[in-house]
């Protein structure tokens, strides 16, 4: 059976949902960017790594890849600590993803259907706090670091050219196989990680959040769990 890890980017969430099915079936690595350790420490938590609070969950995911590039599990499931959030029905999406994980190394993305470039090319954002009301209170005085390349369409073209995808990944919930990750050199992921590592609230984090399906290689057996953006 393939090895599977859940990687969680945690800020201020209690992660109580880790005690529930199907999350309690898998080993978990928690990256803690919060100011406390008031979160679930159950028997499935195999490691807790404290990180500086930079780059949102995108930095966390890339940090895990970069620092475990030669020691990745066969499948890695990436989840934000805010999986209990009602925004985009994240808990429903993440549990659906886990129920679809099988012995086959299969990449799974949770997506809103649409041409990524055409849908988001004019997107840019000047301020943002969080989908969590508690996190919003903590971050109410944190300004946005604007991307050096903006809007999104300019940034996307710089990195990916004209090759778009029909998967817009708004949720930061996905599963990627080790084989897929290793198709790109570690320096590739390191570049994106470093772009996020300069600030607590970078605009480029929102660009990367939309682009996960494009950042990884496109495989014929990739599964897309589509949802409707409300």
- Judge contact between 140 and 197, C-beta under 8 A: no
DSSP state of 219: -
The reported pLDDT for the residue numbered 156 is 97
CATH code: domain of residue 21: 3.90.550
Is residue 131, in this structure, part of any structural domain at all? no
Q: How far apart are CA 136 and CA 211, in angstroms?
A: 24
Is residue 71, in this structure, part of any structural domain at all? yes
DSSP state of 199: -
Is residue 8, in this structure, part of any structural domain at all? yes
Q: Give residue 28's domain range.
A: 4-113+166-227
The reported pLDDT for the residue numbered 133 is 52
Is residue 80, in this structure, part of any structural domain at all? yes
The reported pLDDT for the residue numbered 2 is 85
Is residue 12, in this structure, part of any structural domain at all? yes
Query: How many domains are there within the chain?
Result: 1
Is residue 157, in this structure, part of any structural domain at all? no
The reported pLDDT for the residue numbered 229 is 78
Pairing of strands 108-113, 75-80: unpaired
- Judge contact between 75 and 6, C-beta under 8 A: no
Is residue 94, in this structure, part of any structural domain at all? yes
The reported pLDDT for the residue numbered 214 is 95
Low-confidence ranges of the chain (pLDDT < 50): none
Is residue 156, in this structure, part of any structural domain at all? no
């Amino acid at each position: 059976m393939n090895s599977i890890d859940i990687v969680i980017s945690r800020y201020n969430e209690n992660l109580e949902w880790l005690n529930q099915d199907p999350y309690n079936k898998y080993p978990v690595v928690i990256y803690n960017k919060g100011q406390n350790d008031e979160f679930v420490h159950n028997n499935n938590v195999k490691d807790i790594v404290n990180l500086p609070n930079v780059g949102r969950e995108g930095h966390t995911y890339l940090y895990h890849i970069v620092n475990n590039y030669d020691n990745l599990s066969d499948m890695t499931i990436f989840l934000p600590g805010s999986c209990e959030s009602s925004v985009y029905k994240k808990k429903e999406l993440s549990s659906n993803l886990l129920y679809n994980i099988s012995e086959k190394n299969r990449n799974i993305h949770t997506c809103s259907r649409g041409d990524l470039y055409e849908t988001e090319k004019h997107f840019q954002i000047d301020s943002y706090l969080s989908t969590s009301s508690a996190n919003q209170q903590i971050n109410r005085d944190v300004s946005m670091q604007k991307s050096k390349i903006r809007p999104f369409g300019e940034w996307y073209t710089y990195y990916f050219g004209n090759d778009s995808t029909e998967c817009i990944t708004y949720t930061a919930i996905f599963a990627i196989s080790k084989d897929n990750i290793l198709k790109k050199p570690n320096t590739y992921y390191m570049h994106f990680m470093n772009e996020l590592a300069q600030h607590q609230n970078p605009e480029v984090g929102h660009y990367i959040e939309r682009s996960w399906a494009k950042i990884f290689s496109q495989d014929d057996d990739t599964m897309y769990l589509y949802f409707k953006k409300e």
